[in-house]
């Protein structure tokens, strides 16, 4: 089933920049072409909620990419602070385990209820897109196929009450087969159009591959933000998403 999410809202633009001036420039230029603006650790450690407020003030929506991973009590407190500060879309690391994840979901929902606000969307980070099979096996000593490992973490996320996970297109196919819940979100972390460089990513997908695999949202950064004409680059991605969505209807995916 094709979810009723327009192509624009499916794009999460990664703001991998150093200053608030750059954030302002990108949001003003691209807020009509992307659904969310992702701030990660560089912006969070420099500007924190100031960057979030700037994005919101300019008319954009923020995805807070903090990737929390610590003991359960610490992550729960951090998540509670996000709710108190109005963050509506963020993630935590699934490798923190079920106690950390389920406890954080419970803490977030309780805080949102107490404050009288809607609970934010919480996603689980499975495996960083810079990791390949060799890193998983030889460095992390995980004797498991990478797709199966991600699927196992996705099941943990679902059973713990998260709204969705971060996973690539190939992994998304397996997740959709195993988790029969259309509301469970999948965000593709490293989307690269065919005309763009993969940079430091290992597990990458084109927008078309991601959409046809059942991904809901696509994280795209440098292919748009470093393009000579950023609006044109964003429009090319939008066109590719729109075409893939039409093909899904025809194929009845």
- State the pLDDT at residue 3: 78
Does residue 203 have a pLDDT over 80? no
Q: Does residue 204 register a pLDDT over 70?
A: no
Q: Return mean pLDDT, the chain.
A: 92
Cα–Cα distance for residue pair 81/159, rounded to 1 Å: 24
Tens digit of pLDDT for each residue in 132-151?
889 899 998 999 999 999 99
38 classed as catalytic: no
122 φ, ψ (degrees, to nearest 5): -115, 125
- Torsion sign, CA atoms 227, 58, 22, 198: negative
3-state secondary structure of 164: strand
pLDDT (average), residues 70-74: 98
Report the SS3 class of residue 234. helix
> What is the mean predicted confidence (pLDDT) over 72-99?
97
CATH 3.60.20.10 at 8-251, yes or no: no
In the set 3, 31, 67, 177, the catalytic residue is: 67
| pLDDT score recorded for residue 191 | 79
Taking the C-alpha atoms of residue 89 and residue 121, their distance in angstroms, rounded to an integer, is: 5
* Sequence ranges of the domains in the chain: 8-251
């Amino acid at each position: 089933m094709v979810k009723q999410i327009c192509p624009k809202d499916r794009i999460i633009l990664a703001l991998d920049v150093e200053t608030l001036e750059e954030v302002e420039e990108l949001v003003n230029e691209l807020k009509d072409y992307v659904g969310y603006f992702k701030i990660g650790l560089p912006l969070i450690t420099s500007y924190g909620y100031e960057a979030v407020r700037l994005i919101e003030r300019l008319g954009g929506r923020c995805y807070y990419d903090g990737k929390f991973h610590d003991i359960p009590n610490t992550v729960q407190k951090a998540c509670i602070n996000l709710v108190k500060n109005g963050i509506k879309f963020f993630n935590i690391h699934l490798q923190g385990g079920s106690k950390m994840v389920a406890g954080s979901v419970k803490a977030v929902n309780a805080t949102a209820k107490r404050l009288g606000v809607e609970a934010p969307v919480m996603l689980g980070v499975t495996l960083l897109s810079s990791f390949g099979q060799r890193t998983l096996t030889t460095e992390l000593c995980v004797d498991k196929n990478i797709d199966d490992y991600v699927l196992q973490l996705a099941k943990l996320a679902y059973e713990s009450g998260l709204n969705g996970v971060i996973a690539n297109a190939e992994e998304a196919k397996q997740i959709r087969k195993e988790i029969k819940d259309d509301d469970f979100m999948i965000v593709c972390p490293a989307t690269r159009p065919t005309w763009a460089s993969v940079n430091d990513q290992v597990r990458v997908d084109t927008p078309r591959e991601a959409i046809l695999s059942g991904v809901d949202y696509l994280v795209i950064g440098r292919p748009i933000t470093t393009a000579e004409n950023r609006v044109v680059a964003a429009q090319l991605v939008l066109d590719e998403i729109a075409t893939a969505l039409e093909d899904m209807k025809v194929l009845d995916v």
